[in-house]
Amino acid sequence: MAIWDKFFGNWGRASEQQLDFHGANGAVELTKRHPTFSLTKMGAVTGNLRVNLSWRMRTTSQFDERGAFGDSLRHPLKKFRPEMVQAQGQAFVNVDLDLACMYELQDGSKGVVQPLGNILGSLNSPPYVQLSGDDRFGSGSGETIYINMDHRDQIKRLLVFVYIYDGTPAFDRTHALVTLYPGNGPRIEIPLHERAPEARSCAVVLLENNKGEITLRREMRYVYGFQAELDRLYGWGLQWGRGYKSKV
């Protein structure tokens, strides 16, 4: 081993790990390299765990096909001008993202909490998961699911997922971010930045109760169908039918 490696060999790897694990402002970002996080070890297993989905539309990816920052370097002021989001031709891209959660409790009961069908759940009674409402336009507050961690012993597993209810299947144009806010400790961020053309649903994070330890695991598994396809992927065993939202 060279003397340089002896003293500095781990420095680059350590800094790389730190940047890979920590998001902006001290937040923990779950990544492919670091996909799991223990809420129990963090002491964040009481109170309400808040899970928020926020998004805003974008026209192109941050990087162009040449690997540069596109027009942002050639025209630095252009990024401050709002742009219309368009698909091929003159058709507008319209994406309605929904935040949802499949649950399985220790007594074997299973179900889903989602905007579709107005199945909003309950915070202080089973399933101890409740959705705040439906955001159809990507507002600043987004959509939020609350999980009552004081009843964590009754929870076996929760799958938080996002699906495109209506409009163009274009996850890569939404700048979507799922953020978890535990009752204690840093917030946990999971950006939905992978390109998945035509995908309509994405399993984002799985919360599991493994012998009393509550852990989060980043999933980021895109599928081309809806809830039923995610159900089959994770073996939930629910019965699904076509649902519709009321007109706004």
Q: How many Cβ atoms are within 10 Å of 155's Cβ, its own excluded?
A: 22
Answer with the residue of higher pLDDT: 167 or 219.
219
DSSP 156-189: EEEEEEEEEEEE---GGGS-EEEEEE-SSS--EE
In 36-154, beta strands by DSSP E: 36-38, 48-54, 95-105, 110-113, 121-122, 129-131, 143-148
How far, in whole angstroms, is CA 6 from its chain's centroid? 40
Range of weakest confidence among 9-13, 41-45, 191-195, 200-204: 9-13
With 50 as the cut, is the pLDDT of residue 16 above it?
no
With 90 as the cut, is the pLDDT of residue 189 above it?
yes
Does residue 245 fall inside a structural domain?
no
Does residue 220 fall inside a structural domain?
yes
Does residue 102 fall inside a structural domain?
yes
Does residue 14 fall inside a structural domain?
no
Task: State the pLDDT confidence band at 195, using cuts at 50, 70 and 90.
Answer: confident
Does residue 22 fall inside a structural domain?
no
Total domains in the chain come to: 1
The model carries a pTM of: 0.76
Q: Which CATH number does the domain housing residue 214 bear?
A: 2.60.60.30
Structural domain containing residue 141? 33-68+81-234
Does residue 4 fall inside a structural domain?
no
**How far apart, in whole angstroms, are the C-alpha atoms of residue 173 and residue 209?**
34
127 upstream amide cis, omega within 30 of 0: yes
With 90 as the cut, is the pLDDT of residue 44 above it?
yes
Does residue 211 fall inside a structural domain?
yes
